[in-house]
Structure 1
Amino acid sequence: MARTHQRTRTRPALALASVAALLAATGCGAADMTQQASPYANARGSKTVTLSVQSWVGAQANVAVATYLLEHELGYRVDTVQVDEIPAWDALSQGRVDAILEDWGHPDQEKRYVDDKKTIEPGGDLGVTGHIGWFVPTYFAKRHPDVTDWRNLDTYADQFRTPESGGKGQLLDGSPSYVTHDKALVNSLDLDFQVVFAGSEAAQITQIKQFAKEKKPFLSYWYKPQWLFEKVPMTEVRLPEYKEGCDADPEKVACAYPHTPLQKYLNADFARQGGGAAALLKNFTWTTEQQNEVALMIADQGLSPEAAAGKWVGANETVWRKWLPEE
């Protein structure tokens, strides 16, 4: 596909290698590079950017498109570092990365680094609202509609049992590093279930796909936006209503997860001195559908992150052109 807006230039091998290696990982198998000093992070006076990339594919889609535009439109060199959610805040504060493009809500970290230390600045809304919940396959919910009320889950616990769940129903989670209250929820609601961690988003997707292929019932921690809903339709289980503060004590949570407008954060020095790159990242905002489109190309269609981003950029100039800094 021809893209007349693309600028021809030579990009460093390190940037390309890091994007290809790190963004291609859809799970948490990549090494945590929190302590690695990127050659581009906080590099004053040079056109370089380092982005934190989380292990789930929606976050990788954000970084892929931002990287593509920074490189092809603004002439920056871009490095990426895969860091778990909490350590990413410390890396951002210290300038080991310049920006986080998708945060699902960490009020303690925000108070520490944004309000108190002032080493991190908000970068604005991503434009996507995130929601974590418990889901069952829609084919099972249609046969047993009462399963979508948490109070009826124990009725079906034996059908959700697996060898890993120790005689209880299995509640499948992804990585222990993700935002999750599931162990507390199971205990607080006195459910006959055991939380079983797949280990990563990729491993969890593999298990869900296998359950769906065999039309087996399953109960899974899952989240929106996520492209898998297009391949495996799932129906949310209604947990006790979320109310402000109901999740304040992580050991005693007994309510649903909130709906969270996803946020961007920038290193404070980068936010002030990052020029066109900082402006683009602050302006970067898109819809759930747009993020899913890129995520689907990466995770399901096998495109490299750069190829997926290039394809999306080529078809959506009216969207991203507004993100570019004013001349």
Structure 2
Amino acid sequence: MVSRFLPRLLAAIGVAALAGCAGSNATISPPPGVPETTRCGTVNIAVNPWSGYAANVAVISYLLESELGCKVATAELSETASWAGLDDGSIDVILENWGHDDLKKKYIDRQKVAVELGLTGNKGVIGWYVPPWMAKTYPDITDWKNLNEYADLFKTPRSGEKGQFLAGDPSFVTNDAALIKNLKLDYTVVYSGSEDKLIAAFRKAQADKTPLIGYFYEPQWLLSDVKLVHIPLPNYTPGCDSEPETVACDYQPYDLDKIGRKAWVDSGNPAATLIKNWQWTNADQNQVAKDMTQNGMDAEDAAKKWADGHRTVWEKWLP
């Protein structure tokens, strides 16, 4: 689910990583009291373009560096490219995977270069949303069968004669174009270009009372500020989305998980153990993401704030 804040977040994370890497021939020394066996070298983490993922990276990077003496290198990649990185060895871990059964079959089952590392604890929901004022003014708009009656409300210069359905980053793997076609809705997908622009559009639509329908998801810190209203589509059933071109059902609810490079995990790297053990809540992720995007904190400070307040949680993750 790139944004105006993501380059800054990635830069902050990257600076932290580079600071730990000063001098390529330097010996990695673990923090005082940490046994020599916990050395883990450099951990290569994929960074996907949404703020919740950046919050994951911030906290995991902070703990890997401060508790295990690891170096952290990050790479800003799309979801699909992150999986390819597990194959070519440039990526060790994906911290937040949204389903992708096709990629699991390819890289885990067939090529055997990746492994599942367990759940993150986050519950993922993807769907279609309208700002609260619209649901209040047009109560039946939350029934997808009525959407064609409102299509004219959503017309924009970018959507032409059809209603605009606003999506986010084009790299996000979504079903929206197929859903619009297969549910015979008079809409067309228009990309905002990034998560931050999607957030800004929903904020503006609520503040100015202008029509907007679009793609959104949780966990996402915005939902604590603007209570977007979810429009249920035809019920999801296992397999109803197996053919991307013919999908006509709602998005699958996700228990988000972690994916690791098999050779890296099998090496016994302590970083892999910490990441396997890591689990937190949507509220945890939203707190860190909001501090990073709205409260002026850099990645390290936001991670430290969370860690200082949740020591009994993360101590259980340590090898």
> Normalization by structure 2: what TM-score?
0.87
Query: 2:318: which partner in 1?
Result: 324
1:18 Cα deviation from its structure 2 partner: 9.7
- 5+ residue gaps in structure 2? 1-6, 15-23, 25-38
Q: Which amino acid aligns with 2:196?
A: A
Aligned to 2:36: none
* Aligned ranges 1:84-99 → 2 under 5 Å: 84-99=78-93
RMSD of aligned Cα (Å): 1.9
Task: For 1:160, give the aligned amino acid.
Answer: F
Q: Does 1:295 align with 2:285?
A: no
Q: Determine the C-alpha separation between the residues in 2 that align with 1:249 and 1:89.
A: 20
The match for 2:72 is 78
Deviation at residue 22 of structure 1 after TM alignment: 6.8
Please state whether the residue corresponding to 2:170 is helix, strand or coil: coil
Q: Which residue does 2:299 correspond to in 1?
A: 305
Q: For residues 219-265 of structure 1, what are the alpha-carbon distances to aligned partners after superposition, in whole Å with 9 as ceiling and x for unaligned?
A: 01001111111122111112111111111111111110010111101
Aligned to 2:105: 111
Letter in 2 for 1:74: L
How many Å apart are 1:217 and its aligned residue?
2.0
- Which of 135, 149, 153 is 2:147 aligned to? 153
Whether 1:179 aligns to 2:173 is: yes
CA distance in 2: counterparts of 1:275 and 1:181, whole angstroms: 37
Report the 3-state secondary structure (helix = DSSP H, G, I; strand = E; otherwise coil) of the residue aligned with 1:91: helix
Superposition deviation, residue 168 in structure 1: 1.6
Mapped partners of 1:260, 1:280: distance in 2: 22
CA contact (8 A) 2:40 2:271 kept: no
> What amino acid is aligned across from residue 118 of structure 1 in structure 2?
K
Q: Does 2:11 align with 1:21?
A: yes
The alpha-carbon distance between structure 1 residues 123 and 298, as it changes in their structure 2 partners (threshold 3 A), is same
Distance (Å, rounded) in 1 between the aligned partners of 2:133 and 2:8: 40
Q: Which amino acid aligns with 2:126?
A: I
Please say if residues 84 and 177 of structure 1, whose CA atoms lie closer than 8 Å, have aligned partners that are also in contact: yes
In structure 2, C-alpha distance between the alignment counterparts of 1:262 and 1:106, rounded to whole Å: 10
Q: Is the CA contact 1:22–1:81 (under 8 Å) kept in the aligned structure 2?
A: no
Amino acid at match of 1:21: A
> C-alpha separation between the residues in 2 aligned to 1:205 and 1:168?
22
Q: Which amino acid aligns with 1:48?
A: T
Percent identity of paired positions between Structure 1 and Structure 2: 45
In structure 1, what residue type is equivalent to 2:160?
G
Q: How many residues align?
A: 291
CA distance in 1, matches of 2:12, 2:45: 11
Distance 1:23 1:250, change over 3 A: farther
2:241 corresponds to which residue?
247
Partner of 1:53: 47
Give the aligned partner of residue 19 of structure 2.
Answer: none
Is 2:215 the partner of 1:225?
Answer: no
Contact 1:22 1:82 in 2 (8 A): no
1:128 aligns with one of 101, 119, 122: 122
The residue aligned with 2:202 is: 208
Segment drifting more, 238-247 vs 204-213: 204-213
Cα deviation for residue 138 of structure 1 reads 1.4
- Offset, 1:274: 4.4
The answer to whether the Cα contact below 8 Å between 1:98 and 1:267 also exists between their aligned partners in 2 is yes
Alpha-carbon offset, residue 275 of structure 1: 2.3
1:238 aligns with 2:232: yes
TM-score (norm 1): 0.85
4+ residue segments displaced more than 2 Å = 17-20
Instruction: Name 2:183's counterpart in structure 1.
Output: 189
Of residues 254, 258, 268, the one that matches 2:262 is 268
Task: Answer yes or no: is the 8 Å Cα contact 1:121–1:266 preserved in 2.
Answer: yes
Distance 1:276 1:97 in 2: 16
Query: How has the CA–CA distance of structure 1 residues 95 and 89 changed in structure 2, closer, same or farther, with 3 Å as cutoff?
Result: same
Mapped to 2, the partners of 1:182 and 1:269 lie a distance apart of 36
Distance in structure 2 (CA, Å) of the matches to 1:247 and 1:170: 23
Q: Distance in 1 between matches of 2:314 and 2:154?
A: 44
